[in-house]
Amino acid sequence: MTNEETAKTLPDMVREISAKAACEYDEANKAIKVAKSRVRKIENYDKMAAKWFDSFVDSFIQEAVWDARHKQNTRIKNEQGEYNTTEKVSPITSKAVAKASVSAYFSLNIGGRSLGSLLGSELTVLAEQELLVAKGHSFNASLLNRLATIVPKTKTVSEAVSSKRMDSIALTVKSDLESEW
């Protein structure tokens, strides 16, 4: 195992394994089953995940597979122009929606569960997951903004940016964001 692999957290490894399984299998349930099997084979898995944590890992794997599949499908549909790009109303930006939804926060879906049904012991772990997802979205947005300054409007990213340059850009964006986090 390399130093890079030993520095990864269990959620990082689960996300990576789940994304690979999502790409390898057309059927989501098969991808989830394979990802669960591969996660259990991670070196020192037993030390990294206590028995009570096992069901949480299963849920996280399922969520990571579905998330990876959703991202793939959304990307494909966006590229085909199938999604409308108008913004959704958000309780954060709409005072009327925020006022009407205050009591609805208990049914807010976080980590595949309603907020009102979460145990106190689950909150910190889910908060960390949500932060990881947010950081991923922040990286994607920063990378897209950076590429928008480089890629001509009539070319694709892969036409305009070499693999070596993409690696350099991604590392720069990651480094910039890590200093903010």
Residue 160 scores a pLDDT above 50: yes
Q: What is the pTM for the complete model shown?
A: 0.42
Average pLDDT taken over every residue of the chain: 81
pLDDT the model gives residue 3: 46
pLDDT the model gives residue 85: 60
Where in the chain are the domains? Answer: 7-82, 117-181
**Rounded to whole angstroms, how far apart are CA atoms 88 and 4?**
39
Q: pLDDT for 142-155, tens place per residue?
A: 999 999 999 999 99
pLDDT the model gives residue 86: 61
Residue 92 scores a pLDDT above 90: no
C-beta of residue 35 within 8 angstroms of C-beta of residue 18: yes
Q: pLDDT for 5-47, tens place per residue?
A: 456 777 788 889 999 999 998 899 999 999 999 998 988 887 7
Per-position DSSP letters for the chain, written without gaps between them? --HHHHHS-HHHHHHHHHHHHHHH-SSHHHHHHHHHHHHHTSTTHHHHS-GGGHHHHHHHHHHHHHHHHHHHHHHHHHHTT-S--PPPP-TTT-HHHHHHHGGGGGG-EETTEEGGG--HHHHHHHHHHHHHHHHHHHHHHHHHHHHHTTS-TTS-HHHHS-HHHHHHHHHHHHHHHHHH-
Q: pLDDT for 163-177, tens place per residue?
A: 899 999 999 999 888
Q: pLDDT for 52-63, tens place per residue?
A: 466 676 777 888
* Better-scored residue on pLDDT, 81 or 62: 62
**Rounded to whole angstroms, how far apart are CA atoms 47 and 128?**
20
